[in-house]
Amino acid sequence: MTALRVFFIGGRISYRALFNWLHPTMYIPTMLGSPLFQILFFAYLGRAAGVRDDTFFVVGNAVQVCCMSALYGATQTIGNERQFGTLAPLLATPANRAALFLGRALPLIVNGLIVSAFGFVCAWLLLDFDPPASSIPPLALVLVVTVCSTTAFAMGLGAIGMRARDVFFSSNLAYYVMLLVCGVNVPFEELPGWVQSIGRSLPLTHGIEAARQVAAGASLSSVSGLVGAEAAVGAAWGVVAFCLFRLFEAESRRRASLETS
Amino acid sequence: MATLRMLLFSWWFFFRILTESGFFILTSVIQPVLFATMAFELFRLGRGEHTLLYAGLGAAMMGIWSSTLFGSGGQIQYARFRGTLELQVLAPPSYLLVLVPAMLATSALGLYSLVATLGWGWLLFGMPLHLAHPWLFLPAVVCAVIGLGLLGIVMASTFVLWRHANAFSNLLEYPVWLLAGLIVPLSFLPDWARWIAYPLSPYWAAKGVRAAALGGNPLPPMAICLGLGLVYLGIGALTVSNFERLAREKASLALA
């Protein structure tokens, strides 16, 4: 019961206190406005370049914008705790670490889903994007899996924030690199082999491919391999993230470097 | 002479501060290179008629806009955070004269974008660097830096009145990339979008730089870019004095 309280209430307070995103003047421009314009920008860039159709860019970017919540949120969750001096008292508590860690991921997942769903709806209204109604449930499922795997990866970056000084640099860098290597805008098969290898080891890549096929009318069973791969990549990153979190926590205790490194 | 020395020294000072920031290096070098790579790939794969140099210049202008946007949006907030805002406002020169070199420094940082994207395109994508008007290319870039930097003064002095100014900066990056035709020609956008582009210096700056590199007459867009810069300077003088007045009346200079 205590672990559940840490998971839900701790995660909610962390989200509200650290992000301040629940204030409309912050949330709407950052979490809704910016992703919307990203989708529009790449859709028009695709038209100008004469590559693929709007659907290709809408699906790629609408799925990718969940990173905005996951990456920036996760790094700020831990980075800001350290900056504001609350990380040491938090780690001094006997709270269940898995609940503590996962509780901070849950609001990011929910927010990522909202951001991506908003992107899809706006693209449907403003661009040449009209997926069949039957594709919406499987698309939603693919989106949930992809947002979870992206958040797991982001929590890994957040854990690095326990040691690194400038976590915002890494989250920004990861955001833009994923835009390139995960096949968001450039067709994945056109990327060089070594870039594809990086892309396959990151979340988003398989999820975006699955979402594109589903939006084109494919059934969920036909993309189950891609969805499974996305889930597996996410699970692997989740394990890495939690191990990093525990490792850096232990190292910080041993070296008394939590607030100095 | 003393004013000119102050402007030059301040510009160099702010430029050095920005180059120490990982975020601005990301914005002005890494991000434009990544966007340029996407643009190069898309233009290479596509049926569009635009060249790699067109894509490279567009990505560079996007980088100049990003560094101006985030630099100007955060300039007063950064000074407030460091505790130097009161000193800047109380210094004998007008606060406008402090802001001008700071804003020009943020847009000048975007020159890294230009070098990075053109160098990247030349090295990795075999982008030809033949310039149609080589002697006008650098002046066109300088006009772009001035035009965007002076737009930064308007943004800096208005964003500061809003507590969540950084959210506004986040919002404005993609729309200006798109509506100013930095990489997507305006002909692909709805007609009404052109009326938004015309009063924006980034549109004329990109037009001038592109004409100097790819062909056409770069002088008219360069002149319009500088003219708009003067208009922004006039608006900036008003908004800065308004900011100073409000800060003195409400004693809110050090507060967000």
Least CB-CB distance to B31: which of A28, A176, A186? A176
DSSP per residue over chain B, as a string? Answer: -HHHHHHHHHHHHHHHHHHT-HHHHIIIIIHHHHHHHHHHHHHHHSS----HHHHHHHHHHHHHHHHHHHHHHHHHHHHHHHT-HHHHHHSSS-HHHHHHHHHHHHHHHTHHHHHHHHHHHHHHH------SSHHHHHHHHHHHHHHHHHHHHHHHHHHTTSTTHHHHHHHHHHHHHHHTTSSS-GGGS-HHHHHHHTT-HHHHHHHHHHHHHHSS--HHHHHHHHHHHHHHHHHHHHHHHHHHHHHHHHT-TT--
Q: Taking a C-beta distance cutoff of 8 angstroms, is the pair A52, A129 a contact?
A: no
pLDDT score, position A19: 55
Average pLDDT over residues B102-129: 88
Average pLDDT over residues A40-60: 93
Q: DSSP assignment, residue A134?
A: G
Least CB-CB distance to B171: which of A34, A40, A48? A34
pLDDT score, position A101: 76
pLDDT score, position A21: 54
Residue A69: which of A32, A41, A103 has the closest Cα? A32
Within 8 A of B177 by CB-CB distance, chain A residues are: 41
Q: Report the C-alpha gap between B60 and B39 in whole angstroms.
A: 11
Is residue B17 very low, low, confident or very high in pLDDT (cuts 50, 70, 90)? confident
Average pLDDT over residues B179-195: 91
Q: What is the pLDDT of residues A212-237, one digit of tens each?
A: 999 999 999 999 999 999 999 999 99
pLDDT score, position B231: 96
Report yes or no on B256 lying in a domain: no
- Assess whether pLDDT exceeds 80 at residue A129: yes
pLDDT score, position B48: 65
Q: Taking a C-beta distance cutoff of 8 angstroms, is the pair A114, A39 a contact?
A: no
Is residue B126 very low, low, confident or very high in pLDDT (cuts 50, 70, 90)? confident
Average pLDDT over residues B30-52: 85
Report yes or no on A60 lying in a domain: yes
Chain B, 143-162: which have a CB under 8 Å from a chain A CB?
A: 162
Tokens of B147: 């035009």
Query: 3-state SS of A77-88?
Result: HHHHHHHCCCHH
**Residue B210 to residues B59, B138, B148, B196, Cα–Cα distance (Å):** 12, 11, 16, 20
CB contact under 8 A, B34 and A176: yes
- How many distinct structural domains can be found in chain A? 1
Report yes or no on B255 lying in a domain: no
Q: Taking a C-beta distance cutoff of 8 angstroms, is the pair A106, A23 a contact?
A: no
Tokens of B65: 């806009």
Does B65 contact A at CB distance below 8 Å?
A: no
- Assess whether pLDDT exceeds 90 at residue A11: no
- Assess whether pLDDT exceeds 60 at residue B83: yes
CB contact under 8 A, A44 and B50: no
Average pLDDT over residues A147-169: 84
Q: ipTM, 2 decimals?
A: 0.90
Which residues constitute the domain of residue B54?
Answer: 2-250
Least CB-CB distance to A50: which of B46, B167, B189? B46
Q: Taking a C-beta distance cutoff of 8 angstroms, is the pair B73, B155 a contact?
A: yes
Average pLDDT over residues B17-35: 85
Which residues constitute the domain of residue A118?
Answer: 2-255
Report yes or no on A231 lying in a domain: yes
pLDDT score, position A22: 58
Least CB-CB distance to B188: which of A23, A26, A47? A47
Is residue B194 very low, low, confident or very high in pLDDT (cuts 50, 70, 90)? confident
Residue B186: which of B200, B173, B168 has the closest Cα? B200
Q: What is the pLDDT of residues A200-212, one digit of tens each?
A: 999 999 999 999 9
Q: What is the pLDDT of residues A172-194, one digit of tens each?
A: 889 999 999 999 999 999 999 99
Is residue A20 very low, low, confident or very high in pLDDT (cuts 50, 70, 90)? low
Is residue A18 very low, low, confident or very high in pLDDT (cuts 50, 70, 90)? low
Report yes or no on A194 lying in a domain: yes
The more confidently predicted of residues B202 and A256 is B202
Q: Taking a C-beta distance cutoff of 8 angstroms, is the pair A155, A105 a contact?
A: yes
Report yes or no on A103 lying in a domain: yes
Alpha-carbon torsion angle B179, B182, B183, B188, nearest 10: 30
CB contact under 8 A, B178 and A37: yes
Does B164 contact A at CB distance below 8 Å?
A: yes
Residue B170: which of B180, B184, B179, B159 has the closest Cα? B159
**Chain A residue with minimal CA distance to B25?**
A169
Report yes or no on B9 lying in a domain: yes
The more confidently predicted of residues A16 and B136 is B136
Residue B250 exposed, middle or buried by CB count within 10 Å (0-12, 13-18, 19+): exposed
Least CB-CB distance to A185: which of B22, B38, B43? B38
Does B70 contact A at CB distance below 8 Å?
A: no
- How many distinct structural domains can be found in chain B? 1
Average pLDDT, chain B: 87
- Assess whether pLDDT exceeds 70 at residue A121: yes
CB contact under 8 A, A29 and B167: yes
Q: Which of A47, A126, A128, A176 to mutate: most B Cβ within 10 Å?
A: A176
Is residue B163 very low, low, confident or very high in pLDDT (cuts 50, 70, 90)? low
pLDDT score, position B132: 92
Q: What is the pLDDT of residues B220-242, one digit of tens each?
A: 999 999 999 999 999 989 988 88
Is residue B52 very low, low, confident or very high in pLDDT (cuts 50, 70, 90)? confident
- Assess whether pLDDT exceeds 70 at residue A149: yes
Q: Taking a C-beta distance cutoff of 8 angstroms, is the pair A157, A170 a contact?
A: yes
Report yes or no on A99 lying in a domain: yes
Chain B: nearest CA to A98, how far in angstroms? Answer: 31
Q: Which of A21, A37, A194 to mutate: most B Cβ within 10 Å?
A: A37
3-state secondary structure of A199: helix
The more confidently predicted of residues A80 and B49 is A80
Numbered residues of chain A with Cβ closer than 8 Å to any chain B Cβ: 23, 25-26, 28-30, 33-34, 37-38, 40-41, 44-51, 166, 168-169, 172-173, 176-177, 179-180, 185-187, 190-191
Tokens of A11: 């995660």
Share of chain B above pLDDT 70, in %: 95
Question: How far from the centroid of its chain's Cα atoms is residue A33's Cα?
Answer: 17
pLDDT score, position B255: 63
